[in-house]
Amino acid sequence: MKTALLVPVYNEQEVLPLFRQKVQEVAAQLPQEKFEYIFVNDGSLDGTAELLKEWARQDPAVKVISFSRNFGKEAALTAGLSQAAEADAVIILDADLQDPPELIIPFLQKYKEGFDVVYGQRCDRSQDSFLKRFTAGCFYKCYNAISTRPLPANAGDCRLLSRRAVRAVLALPERERFMKGLFNWVGFPTAAVPFKRQARPAGQTKWNYWRLWNFALEGLTASSTVPLRLWTYFGFAVSGFAFLYALWVAFQKIVYGNPVSGYASLMVAILFFSGVQLISLGVIGEYLGRIFIEVKQRPLYIIDEKINCD
């Protein structure tokens, strides 16, 4: 059976030699398997491209797709999956060894037991900062509360996909690609393999909190329309309350002759509801922006160079 290891890389020159060594150690433990390596160089600006080229020159099983600039990990994964569509299974690994390459062994075992999707479940995230774990926890809660297809907790992109699962993912035409959501959406028999998320041995994460926040918004808007509908119910609730309040004020005036007072309460109400209206407009804007991106129909990425890809 042929397995493709798909690795998106962006400025990973520090960690790549170590990754190469580790992956080759694992492959050596599985002499009966045929591996190919698909590296998607996502517009790296450091020596990553040279390292990959060198490796590809020595080993024809190493395929490299280089983008014309940085298009992001989701685009890199999509490009890699298209290249790997002929393999029996594709295993997605980060280049930074945070997803340990040893996972390949249990992944393949599960695949042979008949699972189409085998994902790595981070059972210990103590290597991630408290803030990262906390925000990730909030995101998953929110996502699962509103999405029609809940994500399994603590699953990253690190996983094995069978050929038919890869084809199903590639058949999804959207441009805004929240891959974790797409992998999960296609279904098929799925198994989890728990693992301990490692610390990065070298190099740096490419995800600051602003990028993560935008990624979370992309995930939520790509998978659910609940944020749009929420405002309808909120509007109904507020209008109902306002109507009852108006009755109450009229009653006070007619029965007790109380003067209608309250500059302060008026200001609070105006400011509060202007804020609410702006937020709801913002939510519509989020979706509208994404529709705009979809209708433009731009390609997801531009390829600069392919090596050993036939």
Q: State the residues that interact with ligand UDP by CB under 6 A.
A: 8-10, 12, 42, 70, 72-73, 76, 94-96, 98, 205-207
Question: One symbol per residue from 39 to 78: x for binding Mg ion (CB under 5 A), - otherwise; what is it?
Answer: ----------------------------------------
Nearer to ligand UDP by C-beta: 10 or 111?
10
Cβ count within 10 A of residue 31: 7
Q: Which is nearer to ligand UDP, 42 or 218 (CB)?
A: 42
Number of residues that bind Mg ion (CB under 5 A): 3
Choice between 9 and 84, CB closer to ligand UDP? 9
CB atoms within 10 A of CB 120: 25
Answer with the entry of Mg ion, ligand UDP, none that 207 interacts with (C-beta below 5 to 8 A by kind): ligand UDP
Least CB distance from residue 262 to ligand UDP, whole Å?
Answer: 51
List the interface residues with Mg ion, window 92-151 (CB under 5 A): 94, 96, 98
3-state helix, strand, coil in the chain (%, to 5): 50, 15, 30
What whole-number distance in Å separates Cα of residue 224 and Cα of residue 40?
A: 29
What is the rounded CA–CA span in Å between residue 162 and residue 108? 10
Identity of the amino acid at 164: R
Looking at the Cβ atoms of 34 and 125, the one nearer to ligand UDP is 125
C-alpha dist (Å) from residue 156 to 19, 87, 107, 135, 153: 18, 22, 14, 15, 9
Name the minimum Å distance from CB 177 to ligand UDP: 13
Of 5 and 116, which CB lies nearer to ligand UDP in the complex structure? 5
In the complex, what is the shortest distance from the CB of residue 98 to ligand UDP, in angstroms, rounded to a whole number?
Answer: 5
Token digits of residue 267 = 């200001």
The token pair that represents 38 in the structure block = 């698909």
What minimum distance in Å lies between the beta carbon of 72 and ligand UDP? 5
CB nearer to Mg ion: give 43 or 227.
Answer: 43
3-state secondary structure 103-145: HHHHHHHHHHCCCCEEEEEEEECCCCCHHHHHHHHHHHHHHHH
CB of 221 to ligand UDP, least distance (A): 20
